[in-house]
Amino acid sequence: MTKAVTQDLALFDLDNTLLAGDSDYSWSLFLINEGLLDEKTHHDRNEQFYEDYKNGCLDIDVFLKFQLAPLAAHPKTFLDDLHHKFMDTVIRPMMTQKAQDLVNQHQANGDLCMIITATNSFVTGPIATAYGIEHLIGTEPEMIDGAFTGNVAGLPSFQEGKVTRLNAWLSARGQQLSDFTTSYFYSDSHNDLPLMKLVTNPVAVDADTQLSAYAEAHDWPRVSLR
């Protein structure tokens, strides 16, 4: 039996939750604007994948094959430099003060804070750092000999995958979700209902239609960070 902890757990979705926009979707548009992806072949597919995600019918394996392929086309050092520009021109304008204040409040309370997102960790790692959040669970792009392969390493942190990945992370720390008397999960998306149903304090943030209706029916808080 594990020992209960006095620390609370605060989990944050990233895209359209802490961010007033979607980093995954925006990364593809950024690459198109930088001339690194062909607009004709990539723009419409990017739009369709985004609609599938919002409608809850995204084929995560097909999407990740599409989304991770550009990482395999360039050296890691080039991608890191590119990401700095992406942060400055695209991501920082999406980072709202309300979102930062929420993170700061949980950290001031001594809570264990984590971003848990389906978006890959290459895109999201610097964003978590910018928010001052140490812990991140994102879909992991496979790397071999310091280069991205375009494949996924392990289980994508999407829908029920977020539950599996979080449980594995906590288990590696000698913990489990039930050890936390209070646990929060902030999300905008009905895709996150599997994890939201497991925490003690689910919060719908600028929620999509499906999540907003579910939150209202179950008397969950609904807030905006915009």
Active-site choice (8, 13, 22, 188): 13
User: Taking a C-beta distance cutoff of 8 angstroms, is the pair 137, 157 a contact?
Assistant: yes
> Of residues 15, 22, 179, 208, which has the active-site annotation?
15
Instruction: Provide the token pair at 150.
Output: 């375009």
Specify the residue for token string 């607009």: 39
Q: For the chain, percent helix, then strand, then coil, each to nearest 5?
A: 55, 20, 25
Residue 138 in contact with residue 156, Cβ under 8 Å?
Answer: no
13 is annotated as an active-site residue: yes
Which pair of tokens denotes residue 67? 């989304």
Residue 15 is a catalytic residue: yes
SS3 139: strand
Give me the active site residues, please. Answer: 13, 15
